[in-house]
Chain A
Amino acid sequence: MIYPSPRYLYSGDQYLTIEIGDEMTLRANFKIIGLDRMIKEARIKGVIETFPGWRSLLLSYDNLAISTRDLISELKKVLEAIPEVTEVPSRLIELPVKYGGRWGPDLDFVAKSNQITPAEVVRIHSETLHWVGMVGFTPGSPQLMQLNPPLLLSVPKYTSPRIYTPKGTVALGGSITAIYPVVSPGGYQMMGLTPVPIYDRFQSLSIFEKSPVLLKIGDRLRFVPVDAEECDYLRQRVWEGSYEFKIKEELYSI
């Protein structure tokens, strides 16, 4: 559900959680994107940064510059009502993926769970556009929602998380796709691997000049299936610094 007005929840003495609902929907996510913009535009004293998510926003502030009580009353002035947001700027970004095999050892399990063939999983997952609803956990890792899929792919997470997930792994947990930007533990089912970085700590490719993180809330992704040879070739292009991302600046509306 979406609440009639935002809830202000303490997250310690220098963070505040602003929650507008408890659902993982595009509608809630659009409202958060709108709310984030309103908070940024209000330039409230003491606000350090905001972190918009699926249905809430984490705000960090300097409690010596503004008391928690004053901050909340300033926010209430700005956010009298939860905004109705129907259109947001949204980049469409293509990411190559090698599905299955050693690149995505859980693809067969995903297929079995959805009672279709692995080839059908790849077709559905790559034909569906994916919405970035939140970025985090590890640097630059996106949480992706399937946009109007012909069949909603869904799979249980690992019951006990694995210790090692290769960098670039594209994985499904519930109906959410995540990409692992760095080697880390993980609980999502590994479907494939992208040879191009979404996090570049050396900021070597020009797209990473301003930030080592590629994706942000409101982006859309299209996964483009590639074979093993193409995957290696693209990896080589990245290594040489000549890989160029395919990105279109667009608007997206509900």
Chain B
Amino acid sequence: MSQATFEVIQPGFFSTVQDLGRRGHFASGIPPSGAMDRFALQMGNVLVQNPLGEAGLEMTGLGMTVRVLQETVVALTGGRFEAALNSNPVPFWENITLRPGDLLSIGNALAGWRGYLCVAGGIDVPQVLGSKSTYTLGGLGGVRGRAIKKGDLLKVGIPRVSLDSLNGRRAKEDILPKPGAEKTLRVVLGPQDDHVQEKSIEAFFNSDYQVSIRANRVGYRFEGPQLYFKERAESRDAGLDPSNIVDDGNAIGAIQIPAGKEPICLGVDGVTMGGYVKIACLIVADMDRLAQLRLREFMRFKQVTVEEARSILEETLGKIKEENIIRR
């Protein structure tokens, strides 16, 4: 399709094109990127009958306003945002038919923090290293490697089914997360929990943490108690501070604790390596929860095993299916 479907009237706080990310470039320092809330993107794609990994728009805190240039069908998912079509409220998790001249405006996040706009046919931008995902730090993917801005014209791919057949489809309510209600992030201990004093590991799991305003796709900072490290032999290679280690690779979701203060949980655009102790790592399924945490709100970390993490992931992914779509 050569003609644009959307004209961006107002880009929101930070909106980017995201699919499920690019793999195979970690050793070059390029993280996977992709949607922070993968359930929301994939369920949106089910609604508009796209392949699960098709690209949509991820919005942060404040959504975008677009003018519709061609008929299309979209689904809004993720957190709960103010949303209106030509000033009439529109629902989330339900298909919306848009006609030329329509104005779709997505306002403030009311619950949760990230919203997704999935469109039948997907957002049509070139694949870069195997993905359409935007990685702003490296200037890769999406719209010229950057966040969406005012005046951008967005094209849409060819839908797999007729737009008429998408009418009235919505997701079953009981499979949906309550946006922003879940304030616990589940983590697996390691890789360097053995550097941390046992009392501090207890404190990590038993304290309320507050989400810092320094929170984005690269990483989330949390404010909470001071954590202490075990005594260790002086290491010239690692660095002087006991929170230093010889640099190693950072998993996506790794939780670093520089100087024992302000744990940093790396997001999907996270820096790929570092020299700080990582006390634990977020389980893959709970990147969805991290994505929906609001700035300044309180949350907790909870320990799970890798086996539990796997069942949680299976359960989450198991919900993403056609059987969970009903017709209004």
Report which A residues bind B (CB closer than 8 A): 9-15, 17, 19, 22-25, 48-58, 60, 63-64, 67-69, 134-141, 143, 174, 181-182, 184, 199, 201, 211-213, 216-217
Contact = CB atoms under 8 A, between A and B. Distances in A.
B26 A134 contact: no
Sorting the interface of chain B by its residue count into under 10, 10 to 19, 20 to 34 or 35 or more gives 35 or more
Contacts of A19: 191, 248
A191 B30 CA distance: 25
Interface in B282-317: 282-284, 306-307, 309-310, 313-314, 317
20 contacts: A12-B252, A12-B253, A13-B188, A22-B237, A22-B238, A22-B245, A54-B246, A54-B248, A69-B306, A135-B29, A137-B271, A137-B274, A138-B137, A139-B30, A140-B30, A181-B29, A201-B138, A201-B139, A213-B25, A213-B30
A11 B191 contact: yes
Nearest to B30: A139
Contact of B271 (A24, A138, A216): A138
B249 A53 contact: yes
Given A12-B309, A23-B237, A213-B28, A137 B140 contact: no
Interface of B: 23-30, 129, 137-140, 145, 187-192, 235, 237-239, 245-254, 271-274, 278, 281-284, 306-307, 309-310, 313-314, 317
A195 B93 CA distance: 50
B137 A184 contact: yes
A182 B249 contact: no
B282 to A, nearest CB: 6
A60 B23 CA distance: 10
Given A11-B251, A22-B237, A212-B30, 13 more contacts: A11-B281, A15-B251, A17-B190, A19-B248, A22-B235, A24-B237, A49-B25, A53-B273, A136-B27, A136-B249, A140-B29, A141-B29, A213-B30
Contact of B306 (A13, A49, A213, A216): A13
A12 B283 contact: yes
B187 to A, nearest CB: 8
Nearest to A213: B28
A11 B235 CA distance: 23
A12 B28 contact: no
Contacts, number: 169
Contacts of B137: 138-139, 182, 184
B313 A63 contact: yes
Contacts of B272: 51, 136-137
Nearest to A10: B190
B24 to A, nearest CB: 5
Most chain B CB inside 10 Å of its own CB: which residue of A17, A60, A143: A17
Contacts of A12: 187-188, 251-254, 281-284, 309
Contact of B29 (A49, A67, A137): A137
Contacts of B307: 67-68
Contact of B247 (A17, A134, A216): A134
Closest 10 CB pairs of A and B: A58-B249, A12-B281, A15-B251, A9-B191, A13-B309, A136-B29, A11-B251, A136-B272, A213-B28, A10-B190
Nearest to A67: B310
B117 to A, nearest CB: 25
A140 B22 CA distance: 16
B30 to A, nearest CB: 5
Contacts of B190: 9-11, 17
Contacts of B246: 22-24, 54-55
Given A58-B248, A58-B249, A137-B271, A13 B26 contact: no
A60 B281 CA distance: 13
A136 B250 CA distance: 10
Contact of A63 (B27, B145, B306): B306
Contact of B283 (A13, A17, A143): A13
A42 B114 CA distance: 40
Contacts of A60: 23, 26, 251
Contact of A14 (B25, B273, B284): B284
Given A22-B235, A53-B248, A140-B29, A13 B313 contact: yes
Contact of B310 (A11, A13, A56, A57): A13
A232 B314 CA distance: 55
A182 B306 CA distance: 36
Nearest to A14: B284
A217 to B, nearest CB: 7
